[in-house]
Amino acid sequence: MIDKKINKILVPLDGSKNSMRALEMAISIAKQFGATITGAYSINIQPHSEFQGVIAVNKELDNEIKKIMINAKTLSAQNGTVFKEKLMRGDTGYNLIKLAHDKKEKFNLIVMGSRGRSAVREIFLGSVSNHVIHSSKIPVLIVK
């Protein structure tokens, strides 16, 4: 019998229905293996010169991220799963792969939604999930 242990699961979150379904799937898997979940939110920041003077948008985004993380942490706790959060800034796909491959973190699995909230839609998968699938060295589970 193959003995593959899952200790740490990375779940990209953006507040979309697909990302919440991915979290639910990750919780189900985490319960079976006694794994922890890290919910990651990556803010795709534009170059500084284009983003100056938009403090109100930053505060609103910060509040939205807090709500997403609180909901994720609550859902995980209600199901007996340890949840950690990670906030990143920059290119979302790149950040997720960098975090997933971090030797200190030692993630065993990425569970993510097929599409997030971005305005750009790919034909079958979102651009971030497509990037992660093709760049990840660890297993990726896509949830629709």
Give pLDDT, residue 4. 77
Give pLDDT, residue 74. 97
Alpha carbon distance 81, 23 (integer Å) = 11
Give pLDDT, residue 125. 47
Residue 64: closest CA among 43, 49, 78: 43
Report all structural domains of the chain as residue ranges with CATH numbers, in order of start: 15-143 (3.40.50.620)
Q: Which of the two residues, 2 and 85, has the higher pLDDT score?
A: 85
Using the 8-state DSSP alphabet, how is residue 47 labeled? Answer: P
**Predicted confidence (pLDDT) per residue in 89-105, tens digit:** 989 999 999 999 999 99
Alpha carbon distance 117, 40 (integer Å) = 15
CA distances from 45 to 5, 76, 80, 83, 89 (A): 35, 28, 34, 25, 6
Q: Which amino acid is at 141?
A: L
**Predicted confidence (pLDDT) per residue in 38-79, tens digit:** 999 998 765 554 555 555 557 888 899 999 999 999 999 999
Query: CB–CB of 18/63 below 8 Å?
Result: no
